[in-house]
Amino acid sequence: MAEVVTLKTGAVLTREGDPAPHVFSISSGSLRVYKLLPDGRRQITGFLFAGDFLGLAIGDDYVFSAEAMEPSTVCRFRKGPFRALVEQSPPLEHMLLHRTMHELAAAQNQMLLLGRKTAIERMASFLLDLPGHDPARPSAPGHVRLPMKRAEIADYLGLTIETVSRVLTRMKLQGLISTPSPSDLVVERPDRLRQYALGEV
């Protein structure tokens, strides 16, 4: 019933508007999920990692596109059998509801960010929300990986690449962060960053 699919970097898993026969669960790697306007403007609605589900939306067509950001593997289920499975398993359905509610809450935070926060507030929120702040690994405090490019950060935060870059530079000058490499970042002052994220500056 489930097939394993291997994705190269940049591979397209779903395309907005295409018929949607499948539902997916991410096994490894990371995906970007986005929506496009006809003229090419893109809004990334989320990044998915191992354990996340994709394609649960209703309707016959996908309402978003999804691409691998790095080599990834996903489990693919045909929608019909998957639905049948869910029908028979209340715990599974419960888990899906729980996850979907979490995603909805995250989406509402993102609306606040997109509708009302300034560029630096958006970036601060983003950096604090990134995985990798586990107090479980105090060995590398504040270290986070940025598996995405500047263009993806920009399209997630409703900004341009240039603004993303300028904000990061400003943050570096203020000593809030440091960037050992463009895809590696250290949060030096999580406290100050948190203030920015809430617009308290």
Partner DNA sequence: ACGGTCATTTGATCCAGATCAATAAACAGA
Partner DNA sequence: TCTGTTTATTGATCTGGATCAAATGACCGT
- In DSSP notation, 17-54 reads TSB--EEEEEEESEEEEEEE-TTS-EEEEEEEETT-EE
Q: State yes or no: residue 162 binds DNA (CB under 7 A).
A: yes
Q: State yes or no: residue 179 binds DNA (CB under 7 A).
A: yes
Select from 147, 158, 190, 199 the one that contacts DNA (CB under 7 A).
Answer: 158
Q: State yes or no: residue 128 binds a copy of itself (CB under 8 A).
A: no
In the list a copy of itself, DNA, none, the entry touching 67 (Cβ below 5 to 8 angstroms by class) is: none
What residues are paired with 193 via a beta bridge? none
Q: Which residue has the tokens 């943050």?
A: 171
In the list a copy of itself, DNA, none, the entry touching 19 (Cβ below 5 to 8 angstroms by class) is: none
Q: State yes or no: residue 174 binds DNA (CB under 7 A).
A: no
d(CA 200, CA 117): 11
The one segment of 32-40, 75-83, 128-136, 164-172 that binds DNA by CB under 7 A: 164-172
Q: State yes or no: residue 165 binds a copy of itself (CB under 8 A).
A: no
The one segment of 6-14, 18-26, 151-159, 170-178 that binds a copy of itself by CB under 8 A: 151-159
d(CA 158, CA 160): 7
- Are 176 and 193 in contact, with CB atoms under 8 Å apart? yes
User: 168, exposed or middle or buried, with CB in 10 Å at 0-12, 13-18, 19+?
Assistant: buried
Shortest separation between residue 43's beta carbon and a copy of itself, angstroms = 4
| Interacting residues toward DNA by CB under 7 A | 118-120, 149-151, 158-166, 168-169, 179, 181-183
